[in-house]
Structure 1
Amino acid sequence: MIKILGTQLNGIFQKINAQETEIDIAARLLSQAIIGQGTVYVKGFGDLRYFEEFITAGDEKLPDSERMITESVLDKTDRVLIMADHYDEAVIEYITDLAENDIDYVLVCNKDERIDSMNFIDLSTPRAIVPTEDFSRIITPHVMAMNYIYYILFATIKEMLDEEE
């Protein structure tokens, strides 16, 4: 079981690594707020809502970041990091509101044919990955994939901020 899990996770991490350009663009977009006068607001949906606290208050928090409480605080210097395990109606509604207010955002989510965001990173965890004896599958590692993506973003943004100084 552990070998299967490890192999499957490696596959997911490789899919994320293949999005190097998208991740670099996302890091640049978020860095604009940090370098400028803006704030990076963090909004999570589903299981990824738990990352809001980690990203904004953890030991390796994203600089100049806050949890999104209300959209009324946003202006054009701000950016939003949106994390969702599924591209559902709540996420669509939230993104529509941001687009109507011309607020730039990065969306980290599993692929969905309805996504037309310019700043999109595929979470690469659309289904459970470990087969069981009854032919079902368990373990959908949204949290592990998001954690990996966050650390790549964090390191890339830190590198950009260090260059800026």
Structure 2
Amino acid sequence: MLKIFSTQLQGKFKPFVDDESSIEEAARLVAQAIVGEGNVYFYGGDEMGGVLSEALFGLEPFPRAKSLEWNAGELPCTTIDRAIVFSRFSQDEEAIKIAQTLEQQDIPFVAVSTVEKKDEVGLHTIADVHIDLKLLKGLLPDELGNRFGYPALMLGLFVYHGIKFTLDEILGELEEEEEEL
């Protein structure tokens, strides 16, 4: 079972490796905050809160990372900041409220989630950059034809690390350019 899960999981990682454009776009967006003395606020709904823990407390924390504390429509961000919203699905009500508030306050942000309904308002329609996890069901079949093994957090962490690695490259290039001047 674990071998099947591993194979299926690798298949879910592959699109991010083959086409890094959305991850690069996300890294460029958050780099604006770091270069401009802003912060990068992270929100993770449900199990996606694990990404927030990695960003704040991991061995290699995200530069200028802060927790996005959602307090009845009030956000701690300003226009020099950026945010990254991680949610299991793009139609998550709490994540949409946060996204709409970020949009209203002119705070650019990235959203990472699975798009269930492309035609409906969701994180994918509100975010400046949206990264679709494309995880509509579990990876393993059971004997009744159902699916289980839903690794949303694993995919979210993979995307998080992709954004962080790309951001580190961008910041390194900027540092080299500054040294040359």
TM-score bin (small chain): over 0.9
- Report % sequence identity: 30
Q: Aligned runs of 1:1-165 on 2, under 5 Å?
A: 1-70=1-70, 71-87=74-90, 88-112=92-116, 113=118, 114=120, 115-116=124-125, 117-165=127-175
Q: Which runs of 5+ in 1 are unaligned?
A: none
User: Aligned partners of 1:21, 1:54: CA distance in 2, in Å?
Assistant: 23
What secondary structure does 1:126 align onto?
coil
- CA–CA separation in structure 2 for the residues paired with 1:74 and 1:19: 30
SS at match of 2:63: coil
Measured in 2, the distance between the counterparts of 1:103 and 1:59 equals 28
Corresponding residue pairs, total: 165
Name the amino acid aligned to 1:30.
V
- Give 3-state SS (helix, strand or coil) of 2:62's partner: coil
Question: Equivalents in 1 of 2:38, 2:31: separation in Å?
Answer: 9
Q: Structure 2 CA distance, aligned partners of 1:46 and 1:16?
A: 23
Task: Check conservation: 1:53, 1:67, Cα contact below 8 A.
Answer: no
Q: TM-score normalized by structure 1? A: 0.93
RMSD: 1.4
4+ long deviations beyond 6 Å: none
C-alpha separation between the residues in 2 aligned to 1:22 and 1:41?
Answer: 19
Which SS does the other structure have where 2:43 is aligned?
strand
**Separation of aligned partners in 2, 1:122 and 1:19:** 12
**Unaligned stretches of 5+ residues in structure 2:** 176-181
Q: State the AA in 2 paired with 1:13.
A: F
Q: Distance in 2 between matches of 1:36 and 1:57?
A: 23
TM-score under structure 2 normalisation?
0.85
Contact conserved, 1:79 with 1:105, CA < 8 A, in 2? yes
Provide the residue aligned with 2:178 in structure 1. none
Instruction: State the AA in 2 paired with 1:78.
Output: D
